[in-house]
Amino acid sequence: MKNKLKIAVVGATGLVGRTMLRILEEREFPVVDLILLSSPKGAGSVIAFRGVDYTVDAISEDSFESVDIALFSAGKDVSVKYALIAAAKGCVVIDNGSYWRMHKKVPLIVPEVNPDALIGHHGIIANPNCSTIQLVVALKPIHRTFGIKRMIVSTYQSISGAGQKGINQLNDEILGKEPAERVSKLPIAYNTVFHSITDSDGNSEEEIKMTNEPRKIFNDFDLKISVTCVRLPILGGHGESVNIETEKPTTVEELSELLNNSAGVTVIDDPVNSIYPTPLMSKDKDDVFVGRIRKDNSIENGFNLWIVADNIRKGAATNAVQIAELVLEKNLFEFERADFNN
Amino acid sequence: MKNKLKIAVVGATGLVGRTMLRILEEREFPVVDLILLSSPKGAGSVIAFRGVDYTVDAISEDSFESVDIALFSAGKDVSVKYALIAAAKGCVVIDNGSYWRMHKKVPLIVPEVNPDALIGHHGIIANPNCSTIQLVVALKPIHRTFGIKRMIVSTYQSISGAGQKGINQLNDEILGKEPAERVSKLPIAYNTVFHSITDSDGNSEEEIKMTNEPRKIFNDFDLKISVTCVRLPILGGHGESVNIETEKPTTVEELSELLNNSAGVTVIDDPVNSIYPTPLMSKDKDDVFVGRIRKDNSIENGFNLWIVADNIRKGAATNAVQIAELVLEKNLFEFERADFNN
């Protein structure tokens, strides 16, 4: 069984890539060899890992020789091309991008939720969207125990979901400066904006992801979901106002106890004393925080919840490293090659 | 018919009070005599109205002699005590506070929505909560034409809803300063916070208002509503993510046309080109803006809407002045005295 791994981080200079490195350190992942990769633009940067400086290389077809696990957090084009190349060489790819997530030969994994879906993977494993991850970690115990008929979600997302450029635009605007680069045409500071709208029904990319991904992760393709995704002028942490209708009756107390005993979830729910999850308090934490668990009296089995997590950690980097830990623990380095074009 | 009015503004030094004065100017309300009132703390301040300086007086039992209309935007104690005193003297009180709103002898008015409820008033008229006003202006045409079975609302509210102190706390925090005064125990900058939680089911004051007030305004006490209210680090403008289930079937196109032809509503809905309502664009405008009108495929007659308005103007000051205009237009200065304690 492998326990000394050669790891590649693709997109190492980005916000998520750098956080992945920090989390590999924190969780003492057994890295013995580390390859940092980026676009030619980022190549040459030096990034420390466990006190040793590593130089970032430009990604190429030869980057994945004898690499055990590659953590990808790069643009779509990189994921599409190099995930295939890496997997063909026997490297297990854990991709944080959206391209592979709904592919039928690619498992979409949240370790607390559907670890078994990893068995029989074909070398490419997808990390879900940030706002999906915190949603399914919090809702899985409820889905399993009481069933969920329908959910209506409105998100309160940090602009850090658009990467360092998003943070830079917000910071420039707060300082009254013309932003050097923009992720949003409309101002972010003191405002709310939407993600790019893509489908003919007027839904944003993010809303489509949050509608499709939970169904795949829960393996419940009848799950009814309606989502509105909103970006806020906050530097980190996503909030979600979630209304659910359960199949079976339950109570606020039962839900609270159930969630409190669930992996990866912390219930913080004393709002009378201003004790509840917020984006700021979620910073640098790996758990998903749930509060404001309330009965919705407008329908028989209705409940409201407020779900918060650090979108860069549990929403991206931590979840990817947890998948790598699962690959290690279950010894899933060997896999049957697949034709991803069919 | 009266057309030269003596007007009192109670709470004249506050954020809403000052905005009321600006709106009385803008709309050329026929004020011939103006009394500015506040607590003893604010008395002595000088505020210009139509180029003339007025000194603010401390409110007293004698403040309302021969006043035709008093616009109140002061604390609860002031509303409770002085609205009764003013009305007993024949002054029509339009109160922006929450105390009188659900009183059965007090009409709760949004001029575009339920102007007829003003007929037969007893001297105290209530202005709804800011987030209620924009919700009912946008939903009234839908409620009337297609019926609304259930609505689920998540709000994105400016901290200016807590008045100048809220803005001050946010500004201090953005500058990295310890706030001189606080409306929120938790930080507002780069964060989301909730309003004070008051009921045993864990709902905030704001959520209770938004559940009860639309029912009274629509005169539909069976209307099913579930609300989550969230405060954001933005200086003005409230957003609302609203999911509705209509009684009768309709389409996005029909809803869009209906709203576009409704008083007080502007539809802005070209999100592919980043054209949609935002808090920043609503600033200093009196309309309610609706965008992102989408079918919710998770239920038969489901739709999502995004509703934005300037919370200090249409959400408070403008609506109050519009009620005053309605009193003038319908000549409702005379009223039958009521015992508000019964």
Q: What CATH number should be reported for the domain holding residue B63?
A: 3.40.50.720
Give the pLDDT band of residue A28 (cuts 50, 70, 90). Answer: very high
CA B268/CA A247 separation, integer angstroms: 37
Q: Which of B226, B272, B304 sits opposite A243 (nearest CB)?
A: B226
SS3 A84: helix
What mean pLDDT is predicted for residues B300-321? 98
Say yes or no: A48 and A190 in one domain. no
Q: Is 90 exceeded by the pLDDT of residue A198? A: no
CA A54/CA A243 separation, integer angstroms: 46
Q: Percent of chain A scored above 90 by pLDDT?
A: 97
CA B328/CA A75 separation, integer angstroms: 62
Host domain of residue B302: 131-311
B28 torsion bin: left (phi>0), alpha (psi -120 to 50), beta (else)? left
CB neighbours (10 Å) of residue A66?
Answer: 10
B141: closest CA of chain A, how far (Å): 21
Cβ contact A64:A40 at 8 Å? no
CA A18/CA A56 separation, integer angstroms: 12
Q: Which of A152, A252, A271 sits opposite B197 (nearest CB)?
A: A271
Domain assignment present for A339 = no
Q: What is the dihedral of CA A115, A163, A86, A61, to 10 degrees?
A: 180
Say yes or no: B141 and B261 in one domain. yes
ipTM of the complex model? 0.96
pLDDT at position B1 is 67
User: Catalytic: B91?
Assistant: no
What's at B9, amino acid-wise?
A: V
The length of chain A, given as a count of residues: 342
User: Which residues of chain A make contact with B241, given a CB cutoff of 8 A?
Assistant: 154, 228, 230, 241
Q: What is the DSSP letter of B246?
A: E
Say yes or no: A146 and A78 in one domain. no
pLDDT tens for residues B31-72? 999 999 999 999 999 999 999 999 999 999 999 999 999 999
Domain assignment present for A218 = yes
Say yes or no: B173 and B241 in one domain. yes
Q: Which of A187, A204, A272 sits opposite B280 (nearest CB)?
A: A187
Domain assignment present for B341 = no
Domain assignment present for B335 = no
CB pair distance less than 8 Å for A276 and B194: yes
Partners of residue A232 on adjacent β-strands = A158
Cβ contact A73:A48 at 8 Å? no
Angle between helices A15-26 and A318-329 (to 10 degrees): 50
Say yes or no: B181 and B233 in one domain. yes
Angle between helices A130-146 and A205-218 (to 10 degrees): 40
Say yes or no: A143 and A94 in one domain. no
What's at A87, amino acid-wise?
A: A
pLDDT tens for residues B102-139? 999 999 999 999 999 999 999 999 999 999 999 999 99
CB pair distance less than 8 Å for B241 and A154: yes
Q: Is 90 exceeded by the pLDDT of residue A67? A: yes
Q: Is 80 exceeded by the pLDDT of residue A87? A: yes
Partners of residue A130 on adjacent β-strands = none
Say yes or no: A159 and A247 in one domain. yes
Question: How open is the CA angle A309-A95-A158, to the nearest 5 degrees?
Answer: 30
Domain assignment present for B173 = yes
Q: Which of B278, B298, B304 sits opposite A224 (nearest CB)?
A: B298
Contacts for A306 with CB less than 8 Å, ≥ 6 apart: A239, A240, A241, A242, A276, A277, A290, A291, A292, B228
User: Catalytic: B130?
Assistant: yes
Mean pLDDT of chain A: 97
In chain A, whose CA is at the least distance from the CA of B196? A272
CB pair distance less than 8 Å for A228 and B241: yes
Q: What is the dihedral of CA A285, A287, A288, A294, to 10 degrees?
A: -110
Catalytically annotated residue among A91, A121, A130, A143: A130
CB pair distance less than 8 Å for A203 and B278: no
Domain assignment present for B208 = yes
Q: Which residue of B226, B281, B297 to mutate against A (max A Cβ within 10 Å)?
A: B226
CB pair distance less than 8 Å for B152 and A193: no
What's at A167, amino acid-wise?
A: I
User: Which residues of chain A make contact with B236, given a CB cutoff of 8 A?
Assistant: 190
CB pair distance less than 8 Å for B298 and A190: no
CB pair distance less than 8 Å for A187 and B243: no
Q: Is 80 exceeded by the pLDDT of residue A342? A: no
Token pair for A46: 């030096």
User: Which residues of chain B make contact with A306, given a CB cutoff of 8 A?
Assistant: 228
Q: Is 70 exceeded by the pLDDT of residue A90? A: yes
CB pair distance less than 8 Å for A185 and B274: yes
Q: What is the DSSP letter of B315?
A: I
User: Which residues of chain A make contact with B167, given a CB cutoff of 8 A?
Assistant: none
CA A332/CA B157 separation, integer angstroms: 47
SS3 B94: strand
CB pair distance less than 8 Å for A302 and B234: no
Q: Is A126 exposed, middle or buried (0-12, 13-18, 19+ CB in 10 A)?
A: buried
Token pair for A231: 């970006």
CB pair distance less than 8 Å for A279 and B190: yes
Cβ contact B4:B304 at 8 Å? no
Q: Is 90 exceeded by the pLDDT of residue A3? A: no
In chain B, whose CA is at the least distance from the CA of A296? B226
SS3 B308: strand
In chain A, whose CA is at the least distance from the CA of B303? A226
Say yes or no: A184 and A206 in one domain. yes
In chain A, whose CA is at the least distance from the CA of B278? A192
> How far apart, in Å, do the first and last CA atoms of chain A sit?
32
pLDDT tens for residues A159-191? 999 999 999 999 999 999 999 999 999 999 999
Say yes or no: B324 and B183 in one domain. no
Q: How many domains does chain B have?
A: 2
Say yes or no: A135 and A72 in one domain. no
What mean pLDDT is predicted for residues A111-128? 98
Q: Is 90 exceeded by the pLDDT of residue B284? A: yes
Q: Which residue of A185, A298, A301 to mutate against B (max B Cβ within 10 Å)?
A: A298
CB pairs under 8 A between A and B: 146
Domain of residue B234, CATH code: 3.30.360.10
User: Which residues of chain A make contact with B224, given a CB cutoff of 8 A?
Assistant: 298-299
**Of residues A281, A249, A286, the one with CA closest to residue A268:** A281
pLDDT at position A1 is 67
Domain assignment present for B342 = no
Say yes or no: A194 and A53 in one domain. no
CB pair distance less than 8 Å for B150 and A299: yes
CB pair distance less than 8 Å for B298 and A228: no
CA B302/CA A313 separation, integer angstroms: 34
Say yes or no: B19 and B94 in one domain. yes
Q: Which residue of B211, B267, B298, B301 to mutate against A (max A Cβ within 10 Å)?
A: B298
Catalytically annotated residue among B91, B130, B143, B195: B130
pLDDT at position B57 is 97
Contacts for B92 with CB less than 8 Å, ≥ 6 apart: B68, B69, B70, B121, B123, B125, B324, B327, B332, B333, B335
CA A116/CA A118 separation, integer angstroms: 5
CA B31/CA A36 separation, integer angstroms: 72
User: Which residues of chain A make contact with B270, given a CB cutoff of 8 A?
Assistant: none
pLDDT tens for residues A273-304? 999 999 999 999 999 999 999 999 999 999 99
CB pair distance less than 8 Å for A298 and B193: no
Q: Which of A191, A224, A298 sits opposite B225 (nearest CB)?
A: A298
CA distances for A202 relative to A227, B75, B154, B243, B276, angstroms? 12, 43, 19, 15, 12
Mean pLDDT of chain B: 97
B238: closest CA of chain A, how far (Å): 10
CA B137/CA B131 separation, integer angstroms: 10
- E-strand ranges in chain A read 5-10, 31-38, 46-49, 52-55, 57-58, 69-72, 92-95, 124-126, 148-158, 224-228, 231-232, 238-246, 265-267, 288-296, 302-309
Q: Is 90 exceeded by the pLDDT of residue B198? A: no
**Of residues B61, B62, B33, the one with CA closest to residue B49:** B33
What mean pLDDT is predicted for residues A259-278? 97
Catalytically annotated residue among A122, A143, A195, A238: A238
Give the pLDDT band of residue A221 (cuts 50, 70, 90). Answer: very high
B57: closest CA of chain A, how far (Å): 35
SS3 B337: coil
CB pair distance less than 8 Å for B228 and A304: yes
Domain assignment present for A337 = no
User: Which residues of chain B make contact with A201, given a CB cutoff of 8 A?
Assistant: 294-295, 297
